[in-house]
């Protein structure tokens, strides 16, 4: 028994409903029917909330009806894919904490492409980093690999751009809602991805970019992909957080080595020390899936 997408989206859209709280609701009310008829005190005991949280949740549930939420997304031209839908990406579903709802704009068929690789790296790449990306990605794009990244400055943006310019396929995963594209400078490019590729978020359109949402976003980038390519990363960076998450998800991690004198290569060099596959050309990546 699974909840209808309308009820799931309604609850998922509420600011006070976290991933864990929604999981608890689904476990105790698989069709998500009861919570809409409960009083605040009933919600408090049913899903084990503090009274102030239960009061807040009750107010949010009844402030806007389910049909109003669905109309809101329709007007925003947002496609909704729930964890329980057949369209939900298979690789992501297999991860530890997959999003309950994906808010999407663009080509949902990209979720079903078997060959996908995540690409992350520094926001301030060197010329060597850009040239490395231009050497490694085009052969994969030519073989219809989907490039997945986070639309950030630097390596993320360059990876998306390579896929777009080569008429390949790319998925951009946001750490905010569609109405709050971050960075703002990439608004026009995000719209271009939404037209011909795929722009997704686990956050409703109104959600502002908050610092903690970006490390959470990274698990989706790696979760959508067979493997993760890291091109230039400092020793303490979001790219290494993504690499850790990729390893936890059982994904292959590939790292481009760099000069020991380049701080932007320290993170990738450490990844190689820790067992990531050192890559010098695209075949090094392809060989992992041709064994």
Please write the tens of the pLDDT for every residue from 21-36.
Answer: 999 999 999 999 999 9
Looking at the structure, do residues 111 and 48 belong to the same domain, yes or no?
A: no
How far separated are the first and last CA of the chain, in Å rounded?
39
Residue 65: predicted pLDDT: 96
| Together in a domain, 128 and 15 | no
The answer to whether residues 146 and 45 belong to one domain is no
- In terms of domains, do 123 and 252 share one? yes
> How do 252-255 and 101-106 pair as beta strands?
unpaired
Host domain of residue 70: 5-75
Residue 241 near residue 287 (C-beta atoms within 8 A): no
Q: Is residue 206 part of a domain?
A: yes
Per-residue pLDDT at 260 = 87
- Of 75, 96, 123, which residue sits at a domain end? 75
Domain boundary among 20, 55, 75: 75
Does residue 116 lie in a domain region?
Answer: yes
Q: Are residues 32 and 111 part of one domain?
A: no
Integer Cα distance of 135 and 138 in angstroms: 7
Q: Is residue 81 part of a domain?
A: no
Q: Same domain for 176 and 51?
A: no
Split into its structural domains, the chain has a count of: 2
Beta bridge partners of 147: 117, 170
Q: Are residues 47 and 165 in the same domain?
A: no
Whether residues 55 and 185 fall in one domain: no
What pLDDT does 130 receive? 95
127 and 54 within one domain: no
Are 128 and 226 part of one and the same domain? yes
Q: Are residues 112 and 252 in the same domain?
A: yes
Report residues of the chain scoring pLDDT below 70: 1, 290-291
Q: What is the pLDDT of residue 261?
A: 85
Q: Which pLDDT score is estimated for 200?
A: 98
Domain finish residue from 25, 54, 75:
75
Residue 92: inside a domain: no
Interval 137-192: pLDDT, tens: 999 999 999 999 999 999 999 999 999 999 999 999 999 999 999 999 999 999 99
Other Cβ atoms within 10 Å of 58 Cβ, number: 20
Answer yes or no: is 178 within a domain: yes
CA atoms within 13 A of residue 284's CA, in its CB half-sphere: 16
Asked if residue 115 is part of any domain, the answer here is yes
Is 91 within the bounds of a domain?
no
Residue 238: the pLDDT is 83
Q: HEC string of 227-261? A: EEEEECCCCCCHHHHHHHHHHHCCCEEEECCCCCC
Q: Cα–Cα distances in Å, from 95 out to 9, 21, 150, 227, 251?
A: 20, 18, 18, 13, 10
pTM: 0.95
| Domain match, 25 and 149 both | no
Strand-pairing partners, residue 199, are: 105, 172
- Give residue 216's pLDDT: 92
Residue 126 lies in a domain: yes
């Amino acid at each position: 028994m699974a909840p209808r997408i309308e009820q799931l989206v309604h609850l998922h859209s509420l600011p006070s409903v976290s991933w864990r709280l929604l999981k608890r609701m689904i476990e105790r009310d698989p069709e998500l029917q009861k919570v809409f008829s409960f009083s605040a005190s009933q919600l408090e005991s049913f899903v084990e909330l503090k009274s102030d949280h239960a009061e807040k949740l009750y107010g949010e549930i009844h402030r806007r009806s389910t049909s109003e939420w669905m109309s809101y997304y329709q007007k925003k031209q947002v496609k909704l894919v729930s964890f329980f839908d057949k369209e939900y990406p298979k690789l992501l579903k297999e991860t530890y904490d997959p999003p309950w709802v994906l808010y999407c704009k663009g080509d949902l068929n990209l979720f079903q492409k078997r060959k996908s690789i995540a690409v992350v790296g520094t926001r301030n790449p060197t010329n060597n980093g850009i040239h490395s990306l231009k050497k490694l990605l085009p052969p994969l794009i030519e073989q219809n690999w989907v490039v997945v990244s986070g639309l950030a400055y630097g390596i993320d943006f360059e990876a998306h751009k390579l896929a777009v310019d080569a008429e390949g396929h790319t998925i951009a995963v946001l750490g905010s809602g569609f109405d709050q594209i971050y960075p703002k400078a990439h608004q026009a490019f995000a719209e271009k991805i939404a037209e011909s590729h795929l722009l997704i978020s686990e956050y409703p359109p109104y959600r502002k970019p908050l610092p903690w949402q970006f490390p959470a976003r990274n698990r989706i980038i790696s979760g959508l992909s067979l493997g993760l390519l890291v091109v230039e990363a400092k020793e303490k960076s979001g790219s290494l957080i993504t690499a850790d998450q990729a390893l936890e998800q059982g994904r292959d991690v590939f790292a481009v080595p760099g000069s020991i004198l380049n701080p932007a290569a320290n993170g990738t060099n450490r990844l190689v020390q820790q067992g990531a596959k050192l890559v010098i050309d695209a075949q090094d990546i392809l060989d992992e899936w041709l064994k």
